[in-house]
Chains A and B, each alone.
Chain A
Amino acid sequence: MKSPVFFLVWIVVAAIVFAFGLYLKNDYFFFAGYTVLQYVVLATGWNILGGYTGYVNFGSAAFFAMGAYASVVMHKVAPLPVPLLIIIGGIVSGLVGLGMGYLTLRLRGAFFAIATLALAVVLQTLIVNWDFVGGSRGAYIIRPNTLDIAGLQIPYIEYLFALMLILAVCALTVARIVERSRLGFGFATIRDDEVAAEACGVPTLRLKLMATTLSGALMGMAGAPFPYYIGYLQPSSAFGLEYAVNSIAMPMIGGTTSWVGPLIGAIVLGTLQQVATVTISSAVNLLIVGLLLTGFVIIAPNGILGLIHKFRGQSDADKVGRRVIRETP
């Protein structure tokens, strides 16, 4: 499938989901759905760096929060429509990603992961001490009840939900394009063996910077509309541990090598968490994430995607090969 076709197909899927929400006449669908979609974007963003290049980012929450706080700043300086804020949030977090990339260029494996953790702490401390955005006191972002688009009064949450839907489709499309392009090919060589990749002519440092930037930008975009969703933004909730955990757990559970993995992981785990919140309703919620994560990495190292491949009995080549050469040589 060509990328534009892919995009259109998924926009249609998104439209159906949205129409379904309208049919339900139920705000809960939009609120819960928003959270799940937000995780789709976040997990997809994380996976571009973590899944494609194999660099584990523990600081997803910081990127998410930078997007959210960019919106808070804009809200105070010059209120803009949310779609623009998403772009601004993407730029800010993309730049943070680029900076992180430069700072950690020569770090590999666990050192990189620890550096991202440190970066998150430093950024959170900066935000906590920055009174303009509310500091540790938090910032109130009062959203209107409805949005007037061409005379139509659209409930604000439906607007946010629709934006998140479109953003999710964009993120998936970007992830898929990257994955199937020369760039994605290069990312995969970095994941497998960086020294060998260099020897094959892959400019690994430049590619890593592109991955940190792109991944950061997507995660920032996921965070940009968040202040309008939550209404009251505090550093501790913007930098919430759940973002760091979920953005890692979701791709790992879904499968990290393809754009489908984070999507599956985010929908499965995100929905499960939403359901658990209103059913089991206790610390068990966190236990589910922990058990699923550990269970999956032990039993199904390639996530749900890997299980599907196994179930369908796909040949080894189909699993490992991006392009299978069919003609007999």
Chain B
Amino acid sequence: MEYLVPILLFVGLGLLAGILLTVFSRVFAVEQDERAVKVREVLPGANCGACGYAGCDAYAEAVAKGAKPNACIPGGTDVARQVSEIMGVAFEGVAAKKATIRCNGNCHVTSDKYVYTGEPTCAACNVLYSGRSTCTSGCLGFGDCAKVCPYGAITVADGVAVVNRQLCTGCGLCVKACPNGLIEVFDETQKVEVICSSVFNTKATLAICKNGCIACKKCERTCPSDAIHVKDNHASVDHDKCTGCGACVEGCPTHCIHILD
């Protein structure tokens, strides 16, 4: 007797479980385009939004409905190739993008207005007289961008955030995290960038930061392809015209234009 009842009980439970599961998975199947599921598995899953969609799930559904298969920047070329295979669409290369932090005001070249002992985040510090460093548009060094980077590509060295271009996938999460908007994401092939976003005039910048762009317009004159212009007291590179010749780099008196490795 004690053998029969447990066996009957569990066979019944197993039967019930099996039937319910198959029925439920059949009847209540969400008409999910299985291509979207396959694309979702290929995507890295960092939900970074570089593709312009709310996350990987949203992007996968969009691809199933015909969105461009190579918009996943962090995934790079191999993800783009897999996605286009799944969708059976012609594969186009993905322009790999890298982030750059346009400030080199480390602790050796600039100083602080006050000693900040509050909440150790750039966002909080930026509220107090727009940041502790004398340069109000410079990097605060609390690493908000480092914390948000899913790939650990950004580290804070000597009070300035630095991007490790090998690890960076150009997902762009750090751009939103920086209160001073110092970070810009552009094609990996573009090598020249002005590493300063100072809004102060020549005399003020000279006093504040040795690495700062003093808006002397020397680079504007030496640039053969008219790709660099000084706007609101600091030079900025127009990446479409810039050929990466590096003429402006030597000319710059404070060496704030860098060739990115």
Answer yes or no: are A and B bound together in one complex.
no
> Could you tell me which B residues sit within 8 Å of A by CB distance?
none
A interface, CB within 8 angstroms of B: none
